Chains A and B, each alone.
Chain A
Amino acid sequence: MTVRTAELVAAILLALASIGLMVKSAELNIGWVQGSGPGAGAWPFWLSAGMLVSCVLIVIRWFLRITPESRSEEIFINGSAVRIVGLSVAALIFLLGATHFIGMYFAIIFFLIFFLRVMGGHSWMTTAAITVATPVVIFGFFEWALKQPLPKGLSEPLFYPIYDLMY
């Protein structure tokens, strides 16, 4: 996909999103409410309408080839970038998804092993050191200092002994 194509696709997607927001805002009153001023939906409705107008302008400028992006025939995202960015995003999706099941701490451990060892190609020593230190520091900061528990999912029972020590 060239940058030129990507520019048009993005503008169309954003225009559709703007229309969606307008429809969603119109579920509330977008007119004047006697005694309390503009209705609850008016502000987001007119803002979304403005977004739609911007998108239409972007598309018009695309046809006229005004912006540098609408003239560029370069590749929007090349193979190696797709690989590194795609893998990172996939790893992040795994990190968040796994948090719901095995909790954030264990998800972080798997995430770090994947990122450091598989993607980064670092030694097992480096990987192990960072993989152990990161959740320990985060636990110390959030659970111990801030008293803010992070999600633990199925791994909750494993933390009972630590809770006993803390409280």
Chain B
Amino acid sequence: METVIDPLIGGLIEAMHPINLTMMIIGCIVGLFVGALPGLGSVNGVAILLPVTFLVPPNAAIIFLASIYYGAMYGGAVSSITLGIPGASTAVATVFDGRPLAMKGQGDLAMIAAASASFIGGTLSVLLFTFIAPPLADFALIFGPTEEFALMVLAFATFIGLGGDDIPKTIFSILIGFVLAAVGLDIISGRPRLIFFDISGFYHGINFLVLAIGIYGIGEMLWTLETTQGKVIVQSVKTSLRSIGRNLRRLTPVIGPTVFSSLLGFFVGMLPAAGATPGSLMAYGLTKTFSRDPSSFGKGNPAGVAAPEAANNAASTGSMLPMLTLGIPGSPTTAILLGGMVIWGLRPGPLLFVQHPDFVWGLIGSLYMANLFTVIVNIALIPVFARVLTVPFTILAPIIFILCVVGGYAPSLSMHDVWLMLLFGVVAYALRKLNYPVAPAVLAIVLGPLAERSLRQSLLGSRGDPTVFLTHPISAGILACALALILVPVVRSMISKSRKSARTEA
């Protein structure tokens, strides 16, 4: 217990440091708007704005990006309620009941439900995080390259088992991410590798940001430009202090599902392939199933707003747990945070808790404060959102394109990277239309160098004997879990086939 309290207090003090506090406040506000704008979610905001953080020390940088992540989870609900279109995929489930409430003129109730549920989800998950992370990191300290590689296999197995996308396309996406990460100088022999057409720009490798901004900046904007050609209708929402109090009292029956959804979201968020979107959908589904009055869902039940919002906030914190303790990101957004940590000169993984405690605990401390700050700002800004959301996309899109171009140039100061980013963006847009999942590729390009090194070191240690992964007990256990996950879709399809044949016989 004391082992957690002391560093936590230190972390809170670290988070209060003026520069960290300033970055947190800016991050939360930016995140709220990024989340609220349709077409932009936490992952887009973090990818596009990561280059901005080169200005500040790593502690302030991670706090800034984590606050954007956090703020975006709150903000996503805003457009789900006022526009009826989710501000981010994580807020899809919030539309189901948020929109009907707004149409009935109870938009304020929906907004307060979303904000307070987000706050509960955020707070509970940060508490869980504080107590689970240190022992997990402690345990992970004994991991060698063999266990590290097994963990990577497990992380990517979740995409195959739980991702829900077409499996060959998922595997393709994972592998191409790894191949792109292999471009440049070979980490062990130092030989140049995959230098396409002898273009010198490939010698410094492909920065993960080039792929991330290409996919989540350029590709996403092209996608949104295509889909939002039609006009959107804003439902205005008015709030006052008195209405906030009245609405909070109306929300007391919703506390149970909110707490349940927070816990669910946290644990789902830890899985790389799951995260906030499926977490919020599961929370919505389960809350509806266990409700006394399931038929009221979809027609404006506040519980239908609270459940997904609690879950998506909790999931965003949950996804940071494996990132900080194991060096395996729990979501595309944390994959980008992890890549950022490498750029800032930190080595993600369990050693962070030992070598950079101020970094880790400063981040945890800032999560507590960001949560409190965002809930206040969120409610205060409700009248502002309605105006910002009416900004036409033809103004927003070119500005975001420019941010992408400048952001793609900044890390390496090379136009080669910017051209590559544009290429990735266009290809990602086309492949997305064919339902190729893109998140696995982003995770793979971030984890690629580490995966290759741990594989080669393991094989070198065992003199080329691949059974080393099975003779190490921890790695064998992790690989067994991975295998079970990969078998999930196989078993599922067998069950559905046998049901189908049973039906045709009957």
Contacts and interface: CB of A to CB of B under 8 A. Distances in A.
Contacts of B194: 21, 24-25, 44
B189 A40 contact: yes
Contact of B188 (A37, A76, A111, A119): A37
B460 A96 contact: no
Interface string A72-109: 00001100110011001101110110011000100010
B196 A38 contact: no
A145 interface: yes
Contact of B226 (A69, A84, A126, A150): A84
B172 A54 contact: yes
B434 interface: yes
Contact of A50 (B171, B413, B433): B171
A111 B229 contact: no
Contact of B460 (A37, A81, A95): A37
B47 interface: no
Contacts of B186: 28, 40
Interface in B429-470: 429-431, 433-435, 452, 455-457, 459-460, 464
Interface in B164-223: 166, 168-169, 171-172, 175-176, 178-179, 182, 186, 188-189, 191, 193-194, 196, 218, 221-222
Nearest to A112: B398
A32 B395 CA distance: 55
A40 B179 contact: no
A119 B399 CA distance: 14
A43 interface: yes
Interface string A26-45: 00100011001111110110
Nearest to A51: B175
A96 B419 contact: yes
Contact of B175 (A39, A50, A61, A85): A50
A30 B310 CA distance: 49
* Band of interface residues on B: 35 or more
B241 interface: no
A115 B394 contact: yes
A126 B429 contact: no
Interface in A117-132: 119-122, 126, 130
B422 interface: yes
Interface in B11-59: 52, 54-55
Interface stretch (B67-75, B83-91, B96-104, B403-411): B403-411
Nearest to A95: B405
Interface residues of A, number: 67
B392 interface: yes
Given A21-B194, A92-B218, A122-B395, A47 B415 contact: no
Contacts, number: 165
A149 to B, nearest CB: 8
A71 B169 CA distance: 16
Contact of A28 (B171, B191, B221): B191
B77 interface: no
B397 interface: yes
Given A28-B191, A37-B464, A43-B456, A148 B413 contact: yes
Contacts of B429: 85
Interface string B83-123: 00000000000000000000000000000000000000000
A10 B431 contact: yes
Given A10-B434, A54-B171, A111-B402, A36 B188 contact: yes
A87 to B, nearest CB: 9
A152 to B, nearest CB: 12
Nearest to B223: A85
Interface of B: 52, 54-55, 166, 168-169, 171-172, 175-176, 178-179, 182, 186, 188-189, 191, 193-194, 196, 218, 221-222, 225-226, 229, 392, 394-395, 397-399, 401-402, 405-406, 409-410, 413, 415, 418-419, 422, 426, 429-431, 433-435, 452, 455-457, 459-460, 464
Interface of A: 3, 6-7, 10, 14, 21, 24-25, 28, 32-33, 36-41, 43-44, 47-48, 50-51, 54-55, 57-58, 61, 67-69, 76-77, 80-81, 84-85, 88-89, 91-93, 95-96, 99-100, 104, 108, 111-112, 115-116, 119-122, 126, 130, 134, 138, 141-142, 145-146, 148, 150-151
8 contacts: A21-B179, A24-B196, A33-B189, A36-B189, A67-B435, A91-B401, A130-B395, A141-B52
Given A55-B172, A58-B168, A96-B422, 4 more contacts: A43-B182, A84-B225, A92-B405, A99-B415
